[in-house]
Amino acid sequence: MKLARRFSPSHRTKLSMLRTSSAKIKKPDLRTALYLLFSTYGPVLDIVALKTMKMRGQAHIVYRDIQTSTQALRALNGFEFLGLPMKVEYAKSKSHFVAKLDGTFKITRDGCCGQGFRPTPKPPAIERTTERADTPESRGQKRPRDAEEESEDDDSDVAMEEDSDDE
């Protein structure tokens, strides 16, 4: 069991599946098909399937424990999926999903994809002449108040009629 000794137990809950994805299948369909295939061996926590050039043809399946990931690895290595044989192996790094569950997740400056942390540039300074708010020109105009306010008279009320349902 040389393969199991190379990876720490926390990394063995995540499987890497290589060279399987067809370029014609859409990402949601691929994730659904992978879930249906890999969930027969145990509860699948997460499936990461990206269509970038670097990750094309790869997917990562995260299981809850080592036993189910080992069982899926042994059963599906070499299995023909979407017309191509799968190469399934343990992942080299710990899944972010598992790290968040066990409380060891750390946000790095270079991000999850290695693109690096780049602060957004400041917008160019806008030079405006600001006016004081207490000057009459800067104040808005209020709507003029109506000179005549309608007074409410109690005499204008009409008495309500009662329904006679008893008849």
Q: Note the pLDDT of residue 91.
A: 72
The strand pairing partners of 46, in sequence order, are 62
Instruction: Give pLDDT, residue 14.
Output: 57
Q: Positive or negative, the Cα torsion across 10, 69, 7, 115?
A: negative
Quick one: pLDDT at residue 114?
47
Domains within the chain, CATH numbers bracketed:
2-102 (3.30.70.330)
Would you say 81 and 19 are in contact if contact means Cβ atoms under 8 Å apart?
Answer: no
Residue 67 carries which side chain, given as an amino acid letter? Answer: Q
Tell me what pLDDT residue 3 has. 46
pTM above 0.85, yes or no: no
Percent with pLDDT over 70 in the chain: 48
Consecutive 10-residue averages of pLDDT for the chain (167 residues) = 46 57 73 85 81 73 83 84 80 63 63 54 67 65 69 60 67
Distance CA(76)–CA(84), nearest Å, equals 12
**Is the Cα dihedral 7, 9, 10, 14 positive or negative?**
positive
